[in-house]
Amino acid sequence: MAQANTAQRHPVFNYENGLLLLLGLSFGFAFFDRNVASILIPYITKDFALTNTQVGLISSGLSIMWALGAYIIARWSDSNGSRKPFLLAFLIIFSACSILSGLAQSYPVLLASRMLMGLVEGPFLPVCLAIMAVESSKNRRGVNAGIMQNFFAALLGQSLAPWILPIITEAYGWRAAFFISGIPGLLCAVAVYLWVREPSKEAQAAIHAPIGEVADSGAKMGIFDMLAIRNVLVCCLISVFMVGAFVMGWTFLPKYFFEVRQLPGETMGSLLSVLGFASAASGFGAPWLSDRIGRKPVMIGFCLLGALTPLAAMYFQGPTYMLGVLLFIGWTASGTFPLFMGVIPGESVPRKYAATAMGLVVCIGEVVGGSALVALAGKIADLTQLSTAILMMAACGVIGCVLCFFLVETAPVKAGTRAARAVPV
C-alpha cells in the first residue's frame, strides 16, 4: 500500500492532508508567478510600448517552455525515480525568475525571464501529481488532484493575484509586484525540504492499480506508445483547446476589459478575481463529482460551459455583478484541468509512467494551445480587432467539449467499463 496508508491515521492531521496542503500552496504560488505578467500587462505596456503580438508572445513563450519542461523534465524524474530534489529546484528557480522579471529593463530580457520560469514550472505539476498519487487514498484520487491543481492555484493565482497586484503596482510600481511575487516560492522550498518525504520505490510499486491502467509489459514507453493509448491522445487534443482558451483568457481579457470596455482598474481586477473563485470551486467540485458519476460526463458538461466566459465578456451589457456571475459560471470549465491533465492519463498508463503521461498532455497543450494558438490570436487581433481573440477563446471551449465525447471512462466508480485498457485509438 502507499506510505500514507500503512499505519492508522488521524482523520484530519495526517501526512496525506499535510502533503496536499503544502503541494497545493506551492503550485498555487507557481501559478501566481505565472499570471503576474498577464495581470500587469496594461502597466508594462506603458513602459515598453508593447504590441498585441508581443503581449501574446510573453504568454506563449512561457507556455512553450512550460510545455517542454513538463514532458522532458517530468520524464527525467520518472526515469530517475526521485521527486523531492526536483521540487526543491523548481521552487528556487521560478522564484528567482520572478525577481529577474522585475529587474528587466527591456522586452527581450522580460521575455527570457518568463520563458525560463516556464521551463521549471511546467514539470512542477506532473511531479506533484505523481507524488500525490502515491499518497492518496483510493476514493480521493480525483478530488486530491483537483484540490492540489485548481483550488490553491485559483485562490492564489486567479483571485489573490489580480486583486493585490494592481494595488501593489499603483503604490510601488510593477517591478515591485514582481519582486514580492518571488518570496512565497522560496518559503515553500524550505517547507518542502523539511516536510516532504521521497516516495519509496516500494510504495510506488504497491499502489493500487487504476481501473483503466494499461498493463505494464516491462518495455519502455515512448511518446508514440503513449499516444497509441486512446485516452492519452484524446486528453492531448482536449489540452490543446482548453489550455489555449484559458491562456487566451488570461492574456487578452484584462486588455479587453481595460481598452475596449474601458472598465476602471479596480473593476477589472474584481472581475478577474471572480475567475479565481470559479476555479477554486470547480477545482474541488468537478473532480469530486467525477469520482462519483464518472470522468466523461463531467468533462463534457464543464468544457461546454467554457464558451460562456468570452461570450459574456463581449456581449453582456447588464450590471457588473451579473457579468461577474456569468464569468464565474463559464470559468468553472477550469475544473476539467486536473482530470484531463492528471487523473485520466494517470489512470490509463502504467503507474511508473504517470508523470511522463501527464507531462506529455501538458506539453502538447501548452505548445500548440498555450503557445501557438495564443500567438495566432494575438497576430489576428493586430490584423483585425481585439474581440477576435475573445471569439477564438469561445470556439476553443466548444471544440474541447466535442472532443470529450471520444474519452473512455476511467473512474473507479465505473469499474464495469474497464476504462481505457487496451482500447485502440
**Domain residue spans in the chain?**
3-417
Q: What residues have CB less than 8 Å from 260, skipping those under 6 apart?
A: 386, 387
What is the grid cell recorded at 194? 523539511
10 Å Cβ neighbour count for 384? Answer: 11
367, 368, 373, 379 alpha-carbon torsion, rounded to 10°: 60
What is the grid cell recorded at 117? 520560469
CB 221 within 8 A of CB 8: no
CA–CA distance, 385 with 107 (Å, rounded to integer): 23
Q: Tens digit of pLDDT per residue, the chain (425 long)?
A: 344 444 445 566 788 888 999 999 998 888 888 888 878 888 888 888 888 778 878 877 887 787 788 788 887 887 777 788 899 999 999 899 999 998 988 889 999 999 999 898 888 888 888 788 777 776 676 778 778 777 787 778 777 887 788 889 888 989 999 999 889 989 999 999 998 888 766 555 554 444 444 555 555 777 888 889 999 999 999 999 999 998 898 788 888 888 888 887 778 877 887 887 888 888 878 888 888 888 999 999 999 999 999 999 999 888 888 999 999 999 999 999 989 988 898 888 876 777 788 888 988 887 888 778 888 988 898 899 989 999 999 999 999 999 999 999 988 776 544 444 445 55
CA–CA distance, 113 with 296 (Å, rounded to integer): 38
CA–CA distance, 142 with 279 (Å, rounded to integer): 15
What are the φ and ψ backbone dihedral angles of 173, each rounded to 5 degrees? 100, 155
CA–CA distance, 380 with 372 (Å, rounded to integer): 12
Give me the amino acid identity at 153: A
pTM for this structure?
Answer: 0.72
| The CATH classification of domain 3-417, taken from the options 1.10.1060.10, 1.20.1250.20, 3.40.50.450, 1.10.357.10 | 1.20.1250.20
